[in-house]
Amino acid sequence: MHFKIRPAKKEDCKEISRLIMELAVYEKMPDQVKIAHEELERDGFCENPFFQCLVAEVPEEHKSKEGFTVVGYALYFYTYSTWKGRSIFLEDLYVMPEFRGNGIGKGLLCKVAEVGKKKECVRLQLSVLDWNTPSRDFYAAKGAQDLTVSEGWHAIRFDGQSLDNLANEAAKI
């Protein structure tokens, strides 16, 4: 199947928002999505964007059953390792189910890696849910290492009240 991968444009944010919700449903967490396309437009297409995104697009003759031509996306941003230097973090990689198995996911992943290499990043990092065996197998087949197993790293998060509490403590320091 013919497809192209291109940098997302501001006008793609409604489609990206739709795909984000599809991914959240797949990950069994649709209630966790709290942003809409307006936040994507604001945060990804400003003077200092918080993220960048690639979209996978098929020709009109191969559009989805629902009529969509944007069928996948990869959303990423840059991070920094004090041990290794420049890094790129892949927040989301998603391809609509009816388009899987056509190389679109691989294409998106490879393009993100290419972007990272052009920016002199030394690694590409991402997180995968423990039950998501198809994705874990996909990444492993491409050479990814599971750091939970090999190095014992755990993903840690502060949000909501715990983030507020930390930020409020700063005023007392």
Q: Report the relative pairing of strands 4-7 and 123-126 from DSSP bridges.
A: unpaired
Q: Report the relative pairing of strands 123-126 and 70-81 from DSSP bridges.
A: unpaired
26 is catalytic: no
Nearest CA-CA partner of 110 in 26, 51, 54: 54
Point out the catalytic residue in the list 73, 76, 94, 139. Answer: 139
In 20-100, which ranges are E strands?
A: 52-57, 70-81, 85-95
Give the chain's end-to-end CA distance (angstroms, integer): 58
CA 77, distance to chain mean position in Å, is 9
3-state helix, strand, coil in the chain (%, to 5): 40, 20, 35
List of residues 6+ apart from 153 with CB closer than 8 A: 147
Instruction: State the catalytic residues.
Output: 139
